[in-house]
Amino acid sequence: MQQSKQVENSKLVKKLVVIVIGMFGFGFALVPLYDILCEVTGLNGKTNTTAASTENIRQNKSRTVTVEFLAITNKNMPWQFKPVERRIEVYPGEVKLVNFYAMNESGNDLVGQAVPSVSPGRGATYFNKIECFCFNRQPLKAGAETLMPLTFYIDADLPEDINTLTLSYTMYDVTEAVQGESTQLSQTGE
């Protein structure tokens, strides 16, 4: 084959390889893109993972909102985990403190991580947590029990048609991940 054709070929190959590498990167870029999209739109019931500020909270005492709490433990998480109060009434802008009860029923020291989700998803962005046990991992010694606090307020801009917000926590066992055991997150292959 002529020299010129080989040069042309390798030029095109280089361009195509760049596309391939770019698309490999794009696959990973989908991860933050997905999170951003969920955060912006409140899709998936994702709430903020950082504390909201307490300044400039607008209040609206003309209506009340029912806030329900759910607490679930993930499979293989041997904790008792439940809200102290299952449902409360608040007005938008009211700063409220509630507690969740947890008890480690196993014989091992474990570390839990609670992951929140708000339903309906549309209301998730109006649910502001000032202090939450879900911001940090929660270590609990074998047999110990604890109360974990959550301080929150509902944004005054919450749409009129949302009268009930359900906040659900799922408690995961992250002990192994914390210990840095890189092999397997949980031994459930069967």
Partner 1 sequence: MSTMTDTHDDHDDHDHKPTGITRWLYTTNHKDIGTMYLWFSFTMFLIGGFMAMIIRAELYQPGLQIIDPNFFNQMTTVHGLIMVFGAVMPAFVGLANWLIPMMIGAPDMALPRMNNWSFWILPFAFSILLASLFMEGGGPNFGWTFYAPLSTTYSNDSTAFFIFSVHIMGMSSIMGAINVIVTIFNMRAPGMTFMKMPLFVWTWLITAFLLIAVMPVLAGTVTMMLTDKYFGTSFFDAAGGGDPVMFQHIFWFFGHPEVYIMILPAFGIVSEIIPTFARKRLFGYSSMVYATSSIALLSFIVWAHHMLTTGMPVAAELFFMYATMLISVPTGVKVFNWVATMWKGSMTFETPMLFALAFVILFTIGGFSGLMLAITPADFQYHDTYFVVAHFHYVLVTGAIFSIMAAAYYWLPKWTGHMYDEKLGKTHFWCSLISVNVLFFPMHFVGLAGMPRRIPDYALQFADFNKIISIGGFAFGLSQLIFLAVVIKCIRGGEKATDRVWEGATGLEWEIPSPAPYHTFSTPPEIK
Cβ nearer to partner 1, comparing 16 with 147: 16
HEC-encoded secondary structure of 124-154: HHHEEEEEEHHHCCEEECCCCEEEEEEEEEE
Binding mask 54-93 for partner 1 (x = CB under 8 A): --------------------x-------------------
Applying CB under 8 A, does 51 fall inside the site for partner 1?
A: no
Q: What is the amino acid identity at position 132?
A: C
3-state secondary structure of 187: coil
One residue of 40, 49, 144, 145 binding partner 1 per CB under 8 A: 49
Applying CB under 8 A, does 95 fall inside the site for partner 1?
A: no
End-to-end CA distance of the chain: 58
Applying CB under 8 A, the span of 31-39, 63-71, 125-133, 152-160 interacting with partner 1 comes to: 31-39
Tokens of 128: 């502001």
Applying CB under 8 A, does 53 fall inside the site for partner 1?
A: no
Cβ nearer to partner 1, comparing 12 with 97: 12
3-state secondary structure of 62: coil
Pair type for strands 65-73 and 87-90: antiparallel
Applying CB under 8 A, does 36 fall inside the site for partner 1?
A: no
Which residue bears the tokens 């070929």? 9
Query: Which residues 106-125 are close enough to bind partner 1 by CB under 8 A?
Result: 113, 115, 121-122
Supply the minimum distance, in Å, between the C-beta of residue 88 and partner 1: 26
| Residues composing the chain | 190
Supply the minimum distance, in Å, between the C-beta of residue 86 and partner 1: 23
What distance separates the 2 farthest-apart alpha carbons in the chain?
A: 83
Applying CB under 8 A, does 144 fall inside the site for partner 1?
A: no
Q: Are 170 and 115 in contact (CB under 8 A)?
A: yes
Rounded distance, CA 110 to CA 176, Å? 9
Would you tell me which residues interact with partner 1 (CB under 8 A)? Answer: 1, 5, 8-9, 12-13, 16-17, 19-28, 30-31, 34-35, 38, 41, 43-44, 49, 74, 113, 115, 121-122, 170, 172-174, 177, 180-186, 188-190
